[in-house]
Amino acid sequence: MTAPAKTPASRTVIETRGLTKRFQGLVSVNNVSFAIAENETLGVIGPNGAGKTTLVNMISGTLTPSEGEVIFDGARINDVPAFRRAHLGIARTFQVMKPFPGMTVLENVAVGALFGRDGGVKSMAQARESAREWLEFTGLGKRIGVGADSLGGPDRKRLEFAKALAMKPRLLLLDEVMAGLNPVEVDEVVDLIKSIRGQGLAMLVIEHVVKAIRSLSDRVMVLHHGEKIADDDPTTVLEDPRVIEAYLGKRRT
């Protein structure tokens, strides 16, 4: 298999410089700098507590960095609130999904469509239409009318995914969308993610399933105790003795 062709002129969508987050003096993310270009997928791996979700929170705007910069489309967005970052085209999934209570699956995703890029779609009818399409796409087409809080684990992941896609993102941040899925479901989600690549979309995919990361990522970044210890093509990173030591050792079988 050959690597996907990349034009040298690929534009950077998201960049961090020296990004750091401290909680009560403990460093969760330590001086992390990286970039993702248009049409590029960055896989992010690392043990639990490595700082992966904290990194996503600083990019999506739910946490303020202690130090460093978040740069989107060439502009510093440290002080831009989360809802405006959504308008800019930054969408994320939550690791632990809390659907809006009392709302149907369709309504949950319609909210994504209404608050997405460029302020979202302009009418509820359009939002519902868009929601319906993305729910079909993620395999939830038959469940649009049920209460979102009645969904089981894998379907909640699909809902999260549909909601993020309905925002028409330029940067999609996926935080462990495959956790708890069986191998067949993992393959389905991998295919879904592959099918949305292109059209300028930049993706950051946090995942523990190494096979999925290998097949999805143009590059893989490894976080360990909040620090970036590797950032290279998937084969190089997944064969790196330091990465195996820090993370992969028990997972290789």
Rounded CA-CA distance 177/44 in Å is 13
Task: Tell whether residue 53 is a contact of Mg ion (CB under 5 A).
Answer: yes
Task: Tell whether residue 60 is a contact of Mg ion (CB under 5 A).
Answer: no
Judged by CB under 6 A, the residue of 20, 38, 41, 51 near ligand ADP is: 51
Task: Tell whether residue 30 is a contact of ligand ADP (CB under 6 A).
Answer: no
Task: Tell whether residue 39 is a contact of ligand ADP (CB under 6 A).
Answer: no
**Among 10-18, 44-52, 86-94, 143-151, the segment contacting ligand ADP (CB under 6 A):** 44-52
* Least distance (Å) between residue 11 CB and Mg ion: 28
Residues 13-52 that bind Mg ion (CB under 5 A): 52
- In DSSP terms, 29 is beta-bridged to 21
Binding partner selected for residue 132 from Mg ion, ligand ADP, none, CB under the kind-specific 5 to 8 Å limit: none
The helix/strand/coil state of 239 is: coil
**Among 52-60, 96-104, 177-185, 191-199, the segment contacting ligand ADP (CB under 6 A):** 52-60
Closest residue by Cα to residue 90 from 170, 11, 13: 170
Task: Tell whether residue 82 is a contact of ligand ADP (CB under 6 A).
Answer: no
Q: How many alpha carbons fall within 13 Å on the CB side of residue 20?
A: 10
The helix/strand/coil state of 83 is: helix
The helix/strand/coil state of 32 is: strand
Binding partner selected for residue 23 from Mg ion, ligand ADP, none, CB under the kind-specific 5 to 8 Å limit: ligand ADP
Binding partner selected for residue 48 from ligand ADP, Mg ion, none, CB under the kind-specific 5 to 8 Å limit: ligand ADP
Closest residue by Cα to residue 51 from 239, 206, 203, 213: 206
Task: Tell whether residue 58 is a contact of ligand ADP (CB under 6 A).
Answer: no
Tokens of 234: 């998937």
**Closer CB to Mg ion, 51 or 68, in the complex:** 51
Residues 80-99 that bind Mg ion (CB under 5 A): none
Please check whether residue 54 is in contact with residue 21, taking contact to mean a CB–CB distance below 8 angstroms.
yes
Rounded CA-CA distance 56/130 in Å is 25
**Closer CB to ligand ADP, 28 or 39, in the complex:** 28
Task: Tell whether residue 104 is a contact of ligand ADP (CB under 6 A).
Answer: no
* Least distance (Å) between residue 45 CB and ligand ADP: 9
- In DSSP terms, 41 is beta-bridged to 203
Please check whether residue 241 is in contact with residue 46, taking contact to mean a CB–CB distance below 8 angstroms.
no
In Å, how far are 62, 122, 140, 232, 250 from 155, measured between CA atoms?
A: 24, 27, 7, 32, 29
**Closer CB to Mg ion, 53 or 93, in the complex:** 53
Residues that bind Mg ion (CB under 5 A): 52-53
Residues that bind ligand ADP (CB under 6 A): 23, 28, 46, 48-54
